[in-house]
Amino acid sequence: MITATDLRLTFGKGTPLENPALRGMSLTVNQGEFVTVIGSNGAGKSTFLNALAGETLVDSGTIVVDNVNVTKLPTHKRAGRVARVFQDPLAGTCEGLSIEENLALAIKRGQRRGLSTAVKKQYMERFKESLSSLNLGLENRLGDKMGLLSGGQRQAVSLLMASLTPSAILLLDEHTAALDPKTAAFVLALTTKIIEDQKLTALMVTHSMKQALEVGTRTVMLHQGQVVFDIEGKDREGLEVKDLLELFEKQRGLSVDDDSLLLG
């Protein structure tokens, strides 16, 4: 379970470029929920995710993950509880290291690292098994450099890496946005499968309202650094993009001016 309470963060305080990114954002994600997060550019989606991961520290508010207050902890001290897949397919893996070395890094996420060999024989079966579930033939290429893989393949491996060890929450930051439509569909299907199979708690930021309604168990919309609406269960079933837009206008008395949200 993860609870964010009244998060506030302003970039460039006291400068002409002052930009309040989070303005009292509160959200509780329960065990086993798969929340999709939407919002126009500048709504605070990425900032919220970075705040949860520890890449940016908030000015005020608290973040509690599995009853541990992590508000002040840097990224690497939260990594045992928070797993993450980035938008950029190149960001989640090390291209200079082999596939097995990348997986070996991930299997130790948030744990002490010692002087024993990193790529251990006893890991191999697990690596091969999880890679073969991708149906990309990567289980026979364990020694290949990550840089030899395509963006979609690397994103699929990033997902595996994030789910290799248990976490309180899996953060997905528009992780299909940089891929071509066919690969994006493959990675999204893989995401749903992994989250369902392993009963993970997940938070997925997306730019596409359609995607936000198609997957997950709950949808949250952000606007100007706050949650504007939060739907789940029966209310969410059968909802379409236009319903979502109406809901948004009703809540805020505003119209959505971001074309990408309408077209996505």
Partner 1 sequence: MLSEIAFYGAVETGLIYGLVAFGIYLSFRVLDFPDLTVDGSFPLGAAVAAVLIMEGWNPWLATGSAVLAGMAAGAVTAILNVKLNILNLLASILTMIALYSVNLRVMGRPNIALLGEETVLTPWYSLDLAYHQVPVLLFSIVILISLILLWRFMKSETGLAMRATGANPRMARAQGIATGTMIILGVAVSNGMVGLAGALFAQSQGAADVTMGVGVIVIGLASLIGGEAVITPSTVVRALIACVVGAIIYRLAIAFALNADFLGLQAQDLNLITAVLVTLAIVLPGVRNSLVSKLTRKKA
Choose the stretch contacting partner 1; rule: CB under 8 A; options: 7-15, 31-39, 71-79, 202-210: 71-79
Least Å distance, CB 192 to partner 1, is 22
Beta bridge partners of 98: 145
- If binding is defined by CB under 8 A, does position 166 make contact with partner 1? no
Around Cβ 126, how many Cβ atoms within 10 Å?
12
The answer to whether residue 96 forms part of the interface with partner 1 (CB under 8 A) is: yes
Angle between helix 151-163 and helix 181-197 axes, rounded to 10 deg: 10
**Is 97 a residue that touches partner 1 (CB under 8 A)?**
yes
Q: What are the structure tokens assigned to 209, written together?
A: 């309202």
CB of 246 to partner 1, least distance (A): 38
Contact residue for partner 1 among 15, 16, 67, 117 (CB under 8 A): 117
φ, ψ of residue 6 in degrees (nearest 5): 50, 50
Whole-angstrom distance, CA of residue 212 vs CA of residue 120: 39
- Report if residue 95 touches partner 1, rule: CB under 8 A: yes
Q: Are 117 and 87 in contact (CB under 8 A)?
A: no
Among 1, 73, 119, 177, binds partner 1 (CB under 8 A): 119
Tell whether residue 55 is a contact of partner 1 (CB under 8 A): yes
User: If binding is defined by CB under 8 A, does position 111 make contact with partner 1?
Assistant: yes
* Cβ at position 107, least distance to partner 1 in Å: 10
* Binding of residue 122 to partner 1 (CB under 8 A): no
Binding partner 1 (rule: CB under 8 A), the pick from 1, 73, 105, 256 is 105
The residue type at 228: V
**Distance between CA 264 and CA 39 in Å, rounded?**
12
178 counts as binding partner 1 under rule CB under 8 A? no
Q: What are phi and psi of 83, to 5 degrees?
A: -100, 155
Residue 30 Cβ, how far from partner 1 at the closest point, in Å? 23
Residue 110 touches partner 1, criterion: CB under 8 A: yes
Q: Segment near partner 1 (CB under 8 A), from 107-115, 149-157, 194-202, 246-254?
A: 107-115
Q: Sheet of 218-223: strands edge to edge?
A: 82-85, 169-173, 202-205, 34-38, 218-223, 226-232
d(CA 132, CA 210): 30
The two tokens of residue 35 are 């929340």
Which residues of the chain form contacts with partner 1 (CB under 8 A)?
A: 53-55, 74-77, 79-80, 83-84, 86, 91-97, 101, 104-106, 108-111, 113-119, 161
